[in-house]
Amino acid sequence: MVTNGFFIYIFFFFTLLYQTVPCGKFLCIVGSGPAGFYTAQHLIKNEPNIEIDMFEKLPVPFGLVRYGVAPDHADVKNVINTFTSIAKSGRLQFIGNVTVGKDVTLNDLRTAYDVVVLAYGAAQDRWLGIPGENFENVVSARKFVGWYNGLPEESNLQLNLNVETAVIIGQGNVALDIARILLTPIEILEKTDIAQHALQALKESRIRNVKLVGRRGPLQVAFTIKELREMIKLPEVSNRIHLEDRDYIEACIPKTSRPRRRITELLLQSANTKQAEVKDAPKQWELIFHRTPVEIVKSENQRSVEGLVVGINRLKGDNWENPQIEDTGLRETIPCGMIIKSIGYKSLPLSEELPFDHIRGVIRQKEGRVEGMSGVFCSGWVASGPVGVIASTLQSGHDVGKRILEDLRKGNCASSTEKPGRDVILSQLATKGVEPVTFVEWETLDNEERERGKNQKKPREKIIDVREMIDIAKKAQS
């Protein structure tokens, strides 16, 4: 009797285990940046009965942490340690070098997995839509950052740094990152993990003056104070902050929140520094406000850029946080030899069936659930738009993770049949000759990059060519 009772107890115990996730246990995440990893983190911590596969287009993981964060911001990349422990937890399998949308389709994934989480970020540019935007030496910030960070597809970016003045359109943190990389002394850059081709180009760069041009005013700068301080402290670099109505700004300050007050005070204080004190600085950056790009011009003899024509704005309305921008009709030309557009990014739909908002460049979703596609979720920039630091993506990942578990536990599932999981996908990939890269193989590549970095006194020497990445990654196994 006791024995029977014992077995009945065990039976119910195991039934209960299965009951926690009635809909199934195979999940996949598309994208291995912060959004993918933080969503995975939430799922792993809160649900023992699921397995997660993480697909990534490149052979290497970590997304913008590897390819977006500036080379001289190494501490921000510490999150890689967190992601590495998630990848090695035994609950997640990294499958790199697989392009969803090409090697496998969204439908293939929905057939194989109970849940699909789209976390593939925003890899497209936004466009100003002005004449001359296609000229040489006019590039998006996204491409420029990819170039100095060793993103394979930008390694051959055509840039002419043999000019004196670069204009950056936009006043966010990405704009400051680019200005800082253009002006930082080479002795500092050469000790970072900046891509070798970029380091070489920057050694030969003639750029002395970087102008950051924004439509709005000092009270609306989108960059944050830490990054502004870094700019002010750049060695051998002076700055010029073009303030037009200091009294108005000072009057607004008491009405602002602490963060806005502190950064505005820092701007005012820096604008006070007399130019004479730093007149011998060989390089300079400038903040130019109230200017909207209207046209890019080049001289008739040259193929490259000569200047940016801008319209002069005034700001209206009582809401200084979100003022209306009014064109005064006045125009001026800012001479320059290079233009970098730092105006944000967009996503693209991974498949035609994906409900997509083409104006905002995001997937149509509510609370992470993709509209009209049960079992499909999205997380990070592809869901919210390309705004936010890693900390906000952490939040997004955990929120979406919660919704996924809610749905799985309620029984709101894609179907009642059992899903096959990763094997069917892997055999499909094998038939197509795709070579998936595992996390252990990434670690081989990781070690090689660090080894090569040692010779150059850099934390790592990033490998730029995808074929080389795969060959090195798989070398230990051959």
Partner 1 sequence: MRRVSHTRNYIIRKSKERDRKLRLFASTLPAGALFRITGACEGTLSCSTCHLIFKKEDYDKLPDKPSDEEMDMLDLAYGLCDTSRLGCQITLTESMDGIVVTIPAQVADARNR
C-beta of 188 vs 391, nearer to partner 1: 391
Among 323, 335, 388, 459, binds partner 1 (CB under 8 A): 388
Region near partner 1 per CB under 8 A, out of 93-101, 109-117, 251-259, 360-368: 251-259
- 225: CB partners within 8 A, 6+ apart: 259, 262, 263, 266
| Least distance between partner 1 and beta carbon 163 (Å) | 31
Using CB under 8 A as the binding rule, whether residue 19 contacts partner 1 is answered as no
Using CB under 8 A as the binding rule, whether residue 323 contacts partner 1 is answered as no
| Least distance between partner 1 and beta carbon 75 (Å) | 4
DSSP assignment of 57-89, as one string? SSSS--THHHHTS-TT-GGGGGHHHHHHHHHTS
Among 203, 206, 226, 331, binds partner 1 (CB under 8 A): 226
Using CB under 8 A as the binding rule, whether residue 312 contacts partner 1 is answered as no
| Least distance between partner 1 and beta carbon 271 (Å) | 19
Using CB under 8 A as the binding rule, whether residue 224 contacts partner 1 is answered as yes
Using CB under 8 A as the binding rule, whether residue 252 contacts partner 1 is answered as no
- 371: CB partners within 8 A, 6+ apart: 355, 364, 365
| Least distance between partner 1 and beta carbon 229 (Å) | 7
| Least distance between partner 1 and beta carbon 388 (Å) | 4
Among 131, 235, 259, 317, binds partner 1 (CB under 8 A): 259
Which amino acid is it at 38? Answer: Y
Look up tokens 């955990």; give the residue: 398
| Least distance between partner 1 and beta carbon 4 (Å) | 40
Q: CA-CA distance, 67 to 434, in Å (whole number)?
A: 23
Q: Provide the mask over 61-100, with x wherever binding to partner 1 is found by CB under 8 A and - wherever it is not.
A: ------------x-xx-xx-xx--x---------------
Among 31, 68, 172, 375, binds partner 1 (CB under 8 A): 172
Q: CA-CA distance, 221 to 215, in Å (whole number)?
A: 10
Is 36 marked within a binding site? no
Let me know: does 58 contact 100? Beta carbons within 8 Å. Answer: no
Q: What's the gap between Cα 397 and its chain centre?
A: 15
Q: CA-CA distance, 460 to 194, in Å (whole number)?
A: 9
Kind plus residue range of the DSSP H or E element containing 41: helix 34-46
Let me know: does 14 contact 7? Beta carbons within 8 Å. Answer: no
Is 56 marked within a binding site? yes
Using CB under 8 A as the binding rule, whether residue 406 contacts partner 1 is answered as no
Question: With 0-12 CB in 10 A as exposed, 13-18 as middle and 19+ as buried, what is 253?
Answer: middle
Question: In the chain, how many H helices and how many E strands?
Answer: 17, 20
Binding-site annotation: residue ranges for FAD: 35, 56, 64, 100, 381, 388-390
Binding-site annotation: residue ranges for NADP(+): 171-174, 215-216, 227, 388
Give the footprint of partner 1 on this chain (CB under 8 A).
Answer: 41, 73, 75-76, 78-79, 81-82, 85, 172, 222, 224-226, 229, 257-260, 262-263, 387-392, 394-395, 398
